[in-house]
Structure 1
């Protein structure tokens, strides 16, 4: 099992001189301790702002302070962007990082984000696949026909040339059809447990690997990364108490996550009808639910069974979302315990390194 760090939260609504301190310092830690990658999201206009509107910008910054980590967009919302622009920006990051770029693509999920795009929200899946194909062609150095302001079709190639000759896409997958299409196209998968149980996701991973095989791709070469909220400490009960408040505050700004969890538990909840006190009670309930097989919150010993379940489900990498907790000192203090968990999951690798 590989381990990477995933960033998603962060309050960009306040002017602060240390907004990116956690990303910078945790990236340095991950780079020095054998983590596989950093995942940098694209988020716009959400409650409490967001620190990550453009993953190519944060990717360029991370290229300057790391040497080993793969730098991944997690993800580029493809229908919001012109493919040529995506190819240009990430080719720069690929050069800055000496060829360490990877891109996960998503179709978009928040309708307000589409103020940035001329793509139809209802056709965003089609726009995503079309955009991925064009980015891949430009990445290879091919010219692509595009319409100029004059109305004429012109052939466009993008620069700079990236160091990597091919771009294997990662695809954000939540539905069986997307898993299957990702397999057909020979891509990798970034997924989560936000819309299903691990057993359900395991079935979709099997569909993905079957689709790879049926379309001439090695079924085991495709990688599946699972995003999980992560905070690892010495003792489960201590961690549970320490993380409860920041995790509930995080959920309060992402109430759609509560709806996903409720659906997974076969509960029908109308959040708009609930009082603030009801919401707080639901948050505590949701936190307890998330601790039962949906996170890496606990000690290395209590998290190991979850790692084994992920492995059996066909997951290759845990993408550890660490910034739901805004306390810099607490998160950084937890990283050595996460690294200890990683070491227990990679005994042969760690022995070779020592």
Structure 2
């Protein structure tokens, strides 16, 4: 099981120094301690996640303070960008990092984001697949035809040339169709448990492996990374209480997640009719379920149980979302326990028995 760090929750609305301190220091930690990658998202027009409007810019900064860890976009919202600009920007990052770039592509979610796009929100998936193919061709040095606003066609090649000959490509997946399409093109998978349980996602991973095999790829060569909220400590009950308020505040910022929580709890009421007390009650109930089956919030022992379940579901990597907790000192302290968990997962079987 590989481990990486994932970021999404930074508040971009505050005027303060050192906004990126947690990102930079935790990325340094990941680089020095054998983590596979750091993922930074693309997020627009919302204070929550507002630290990350452009993962290529963020990754330039990270390239300067790391040496080994892979720098991944988690994700590039492809319909919002010209493919040539994506190839150009990330080729710069690939050069600055000496070949450590990987990109997870997404089709986009909210309609508001598409004020940045010349493409329609309704056609975003088709635009994504087409754009990925163009980025890959440009990355490999091919000349491609692009059109200007009048429809006039131009043939272009992008520069600088990247260090890596092939672009390491990931697809952000939630639906069955996307898992299958990702397998069809031989891409890796980035998914999460935000929309369902592990038992619901596991069959989708199987569809992905089947699609890889069907289209001539080694089904075991494709990687599946699972984004999971992570906060590890010595004692389960202590960590549980330390993580409660940050995690519930995190859920409050995601209305769509609250809607899912309400439906999963059998509550078919519009959340705009909920009082603050109603929402807090829902969150208290939801938190208990989330930490047991959908997060790595707990001790090394309890988190190891979740890791074993992920292995059974054919997950290759845990993408640990750590910045839902805004407490810098607490998160940095928890990383030592996360490193121990990583090392426990990747030692030999005899040691695994002793340590668990």
Q: TM class, shorter-chain normalised?
A: over 0.9
Partner residue, 1:144: 144
Task: Tell me if the contact between 2:101 and 2:168 (Cα under 8 Å) persists in the aligned partners.
Answer: no
Task: Tell me if the contact between 1:195 and 1:261 (Cα under 8 Å) persists in the aligned partners.
Answer: no
Taking a change above 3 Å as real, the CA distance of residues 203 and 149 of structure 1, as seen in their structure-2 partners, is closer
Q: Distance in 2 between matches of 1:70 and 1:262?
A: 37
Q: Distance in 1 between matches of 2:291 and 2:269?
A: 20
Taking a change above 3 Å as real, the CA distance of residues 85 and 261 of structure 1, as seen in their structure-2 partners, is same
Partner residue, 1:126: 126
Task: Tell me if the contact between 1:169 and 1:188 (Cα under 8 Å) persists in the aligned partners.
Answer: yes
Task: Tell me if the contact between 1:195 and 1:264 (Cα under 8 Å) persists in the aligned partners.
Answer: no
- Offset, 1:196: 1.5
Task: Tell me if the contact between 2:233 and 2:334 (Cα under 8 Å) persists in the aligned partners.
Answer: yes
- Offset, 1:47: 4.1
* Number of residue pairs matched by the alignment: 350
Q: Which runs of 5+ in 2 are unaligned?
A: 352-356
Partner residue, 1:6: 6
Task: Tell me if the contact between 1:188 and 1:222 (Cα under 8 Å) persists in the aligned partners.
Answer: yes
Q: Distance in 2 between matches of 1:238 and 1:66?
A: 32
Q: Distance in 1 between matches of 2:293 and 2:49?
A: 29
Partner residue, 2:235: 235
1:139-178 equivalences under 5 Å are 139-148=139-148, 151-178=151-178
Q: Quick check: 1:270 aligned with 2:277?
A: no
- Offset, 1:12: 0.7
- After superposition, the CA RMSD in angstroms is 1.4
Partner residue, 1:260: 260
Three-state SS of the structure 2 residue aligned to 1:44 is coil
1:70-89 equivalences under 5 Å are 70-89=70-89
Q: Distance in 2 between matches of 1:195 and 1:38?
A: 22
Taking a change above 3 Å as real, the CA distance of residues 233 and 269 of structure 1, as seen in their structure-2 partners, is farther
1:99-114 equivalences under 5 Å are 99-114=99-114
Task: Tell me if the contact between 2:8 and 2:321 (Cα under 8 Å) persists in the aligned partners.
Answer: yes
- Offset, 1:267: 4.2
Q: Distance in 2 between matches of 1:311 and 1:225?
A: 11
- Offset, 1:268: 2.6
Q: Distance in 1 between matches of 2:93 and 2:255?
A: 34
What do residues 93-134 of structure 1 show as CA deviations (whole Å, max 9, x unaligned)? 000010000000000011111111111101100010010000
Taking a change above 3 Å as real, the CA distance of residues 61 and 127 of structure 1, as seen in their structure-2 partners, is same
TM-score, structure 1 length as denominator? Answer: 0.96
TM-score, structure 2 length as denominator? Answer: 0.96
Partner residue, 1:280: 280
Three-state SS of the structure 2 residue aligned to 1:121 is coil
What do residues 270-295 of structure 1 show as CA deviations (whole Å, max 9, x unaligned)? 21110111111112112112112100
1:44-63 equivalences under 5 Å are 44-48=44-48, 50-63=50-63
Partner residue, 1:33: 33
Structure 1: 4+ residue segments shifted above 3 A = 148-151, 261-267
- Greater CA drift, 102-111 or 39-48: 39-48
- Offset, 1:266: 4.9
Partner residue, 1:315: 315
What do residues 139-171 of structure 1 show as CA deviations (whole Å, max 9, x unaligned)? 000011012356421101110000101113100
What do residues 230-283 of structure 1 show as CA deviations (whole Å, max 9, x unaligned)? 000000000011111111111111121222334445543421110111111112
Partner residue, 1:206: 206
Q: Distance in 2 between matches of 1:67 and 1:89?
A: 19
- Greater CA drift, 279-288 or 219-228: 279-288
Taking a change above 3 Å as real, the CA distance of residues 280 and 23 of structure 1, as seen in their structure-2 partners, is same
Taking a change above 3 Å as real, the CA distance of residues 174 and 273 of structure 1, as seen in their structure-2 partners, is same
- Greater CA drift, 186-195 or 148-157: 148-157
Q: Which runs of 5+ in 1 are unaligned?
A: none
- Offset, 1:89: 0.3
Partner residue, 2:96: 96
Q: Distance in 2 between matches of 1:2 and 1:266?
A: 36
Q: Distance in 1 between matches of 2:162 and 2:227?
A: 27
Partner residue, 2:354: none
